[in-house]
Each structure stands twice: as structure tokens, then as C-alpha cells.
Structure 1
Amino acid sequence: MRQSTAGIAPACARIGHRPTQGSNSPQPSTQRRSDQIDNQGGSPIVVPLFLGHDITREQISDFCVTALANILRISRDRVDISTKFSRLGLDSAMLVYLMMELEEKLDLELSTDDFYDHPTVEALSRFLVDKRAIRPAA
């Protein structure tokens, strides 16, 4: 059963998340400009909105690093894929935001338990690739 996200709206608003409206909303473009600025070059980080069906672990890992850097407001090079999310400074509200981003991008249903069971970008990206591979065709 999918967990309700109604109570997280204030927490998500604090970190700049605007959840998508219902399933009847028009499809977004394939990229969006992030509200965050890349600390090294001063240019906005472009994040793909949908990563497609034939996605690799490396692509998922790269997306997770970009999303974490945006959420934590740090540069991408400071996100170590083998460091636990809690050690990177991710709190529960930020974790929910990351979960919602991944659900939207990967077209998967996730729970917060998935992040505790797979507490690093490296472990989570392996899990997500496996989960995408075994999901039933729509």
C-alpha cells in the first residue's frame, strides 16, 4: 500500500518541492532547470525529468547525486556515493523529497524503508535498477 504524502506538504515546501498535480496534468518536458545553482560554475544544474525505460545503474546513481546535491545545497563533487544518507546530512523531510523525485523520474513506487534498507547512493541505485527490472509491464 502506498504511504500517504498529504502530511509532508509543509516539509516539502521548506525545501522547495512543488508536487505534481493529479495524473491528468500534461506531461512535463524532458528537462527542467533546477532552482539550485552549481557551486562550481554558477550555472543551474539541469535535471532530466524522466529517465526512460532502459536506464543503467550509473544513470540512476548520477541522478541521485544531482538530486542530493540540489536538496542539500552542495556541489555534486561533495556527494560520495558510498556515504550514508544520514552522514551526508539528509533529514527525514529531505529523504521524502528525494523519494518523491525518484518515484517521479523512475516511475516506481517507493517507501522510506527502501532508503533505510539501502542507505547509500551506491546501494540505492543497485536496488532501484533491480526493482525496475522486475516490475510488471504496464
Structure 2
Amino acid sequence: MFSYYPHTKRLRNHGIRKRWEDKISEDMGKFEIRNWRRQTLDRKQWRQLINKHTQYQPVSLDVTTVVQQLKQQAQIRRQAMATKVSCICRKVTEVISRNVDGTYTCPVCNKMFKAQGITNHVKSSSKLWCQQNNIK
């Protein structure tokens, strides 16, 4: 019961929130549980029933790979959404090249900023440049 469900997505707002009793009765219908009092007496059979459609995956101990995978998925999702809308919105840090020391230089006033600082600065000070480079 406490395992991963791969290939499933979190549901958005779909209708009215169900009560606990309704959720339990729906789950019992999905798992084809007829008489749960009798079936819980045999522990092995009960575990097979409730874990029927689950897949076990080991927990990843390497956090950096998990974070990288999530970032790649987010980037792919953003690109897919941009193609649907037919407007590719880019980040400021993708357009401006990074300096050797990890800072970015403003294309208008030539001041040096870190990543978050350059984003806020460019969006507030040089709106024309943002429009030309399709940055929102």
C-alpha cells in the first residue's frame, strides 16, 4: 500500500471533495473486496488484495540525480506548454551569457549581478530589451 505509483499524475480540482466513507467504498469496489472482515483474517491474502495494482521501486538515495530529473521534466513541460501556446518565453539567464565569476552583466547599463538580481533588474529597468528577446 505504501509504494510508488509510477506514470500517474496528481489530479487537479475535479468536482466535489469526497467524504472518507465514499473514498473507502470506492477503493473497495476497485480492489474487488467483497467482505473485508473475512478477508483481513488471512493476512497474506489481504496484502495481495490491497497491493494488487502497485509497483515497488527503491527509494533513490542520491538526491542530486532526483533534483536533476525533476528539473529536466520541468524544462520539457515548459517547452511543451510553450509550443501549445506558440510563444516561447525564455528566462533572462538563458539569454545573457554568464561571466567567469558566475555573475551576469546587464545588457543596457553594464552593471554586474547574480542570477536573481539580474532577472529583477532587467525586468524592471529595460522592458524594451525584454520584449525584443521574448522574456516575460
TM-score (norm 2): 0.20
Q: Highest Rg: 1 or 2?
A: 2
Higher strand fraction (1 or 2):
1
TM-score (norm 1): 0.20
